[in-house]
Amino acid sequence: MSITELHKDIGTSKDNKQSPIHNWYRFTAGFSYKLVDKIIEEENLSKGDSIYESFAGCGTTLVSAQKKGISAYGNEGQELLFDVIQAKLNWDINKNLIESVLADIKQNIFNKGNHTKIYHKLLESLYTKENLFELYFIRDYIQSLDEKTKLFLKLALTQTLHKVSVHPIAVPYISRSKFLKNELSGLQMFEKTVRKMLDDLDSYQNIPKTTNIFHHDSRKTNYNIDSNSCSICITSPPYLNNLDYGEVSKVCSHFYGITDNWNDITEKVRKNLVTGATTHYKEADFQLEEWKKNQFYIENKNVIDNLMPDILKIKEISKNKKGKKSFDILALLYFEDMYNVLLEMRRVLKQRSKAYLVLGDSAPYGIFIDTTKLLGEIALNSGFNKYNIVKIRERGTKWTSLKNRHSLKLSENILILE
């Protein structure tokens, strides 16, 4: 099977649910580990090569690389996901220590405090008092452990947060119309999750660590990664679909004290991410004519000028929409951010190497934006020589029956840069 014959769900994380370590964290967006494996196979990558990952997410590319003994470097802008990835890449875990910690938690958890403690209001609306007590007790207990053990157990606890909530908390947003049946308590689910992770590691503990993850914004130069040092890039950037990754992860980030409110999400999370939602900026701060003076527009004038009629249509349509979302500004800032990502990508890649980007196109307010092709054109202005687009599947079809939604067929693609 070649890259052009991949199954239609390769751009989703469905396969990862059945793969050890890959399935340690549920994430709204993602792609299949099988795509990484196929690219490694087709490009004949070996232990002398290095993979670059601009948007490490929950670590699919890095975990796949490490399983095959291949070096890889990744950036992740979210602190929460950065910790998730660190845990997924540390396979040298002391099982006896973990067992001792579990035993100590079970022995002491019901002798400390009570169930009347005041918690974050959002968390109180999503968990029973009993589960909140147990979840917070575990969170505070593991803080004193060594870093590797703490991250391992923190990831198990993060999974537990998803499994014992009253409502689904990442679909991509909290789904209060749906209810989860929780037969296990927070402590019971935590222990079950830890033991499953330990079982998964039985086949991987003797495999050396070959990967590095950095808490870093890929729009900026990461001096920990040398120029012309990586053989290939495999990544999936945020889609231009107004999905706010900071909002999606707020339950977990509030629980761990990374954020506490909307402003915290903006300052501590959104500012480190590619502009992918209208919540990432203040509309009043954007002035088109001033924006056109920046390097991105100057270097990509041909691309943006061709796009501008559609941008203006989107702006005009928004005036009559209830939400009046500034998708026109969002699109321009998104492509500007991705230009900077592509510049950094080109810097770290060796000459004549490739980059594989899983992408989807978009249709804000029913105006089609060929995101994949546009990023291909912008890549040519970023130092790449050519691009090719492989269509994976049609997407967005489940929305066609809804009122006030466009009926355009969108696609998910692989953008291959050389």
User: pLDDT tens, position by position, for the chain (418 residues)?
Assistant: 467 667 778 888 899 999 999 999 977 788 999 999 999 999 999 999 999 999 999 999 999 999 999 999 999 999 999 999 999 999 999 999 999 999 999 999 977 655 557 899 999 999 999 999 999 999 999 999 999 999 999 999 999 999 999 999 988 899 999 999 999 999 999 999 999 999 999 999 889 999 999 999 999 999 999 999 999 999 999 999 999 999 999 999 999 999 999 999 999 999 999 999 999 999 999 999 999 999 999 999 999 999 999 999 999 999 999 889 999 999 999 999 999 999 999 999 999 999 999 999 999 999 999 999 999 999 999 999 999 999 998 876 554 444 555 668 899 999 999 9
Residue carrying the six token digits 């998910």: 412
DSSP secondary structure code for residue 154 in this structure:
H
Q: Which residues contact 337 (CB under 8 A, 6 or more apart)?
A: 219, 274, 275
Determine how β-strand 71-76 pairs with β-strand 387-395: unpaired
Contacts of residue 163, defined as CB under 8 A and 6 or more positions apart, other chains included, come to 180, 182, 184, 189, 193
Q: What are phi and psi of 349, to 5 degrees?
A: -85, 145
Of 336, 349, 357, which is closest to residue 384 (Cα–Cα)? 349
- Tokens (6 digits) for 64: 């796949």
| pTM summary value | 0.94
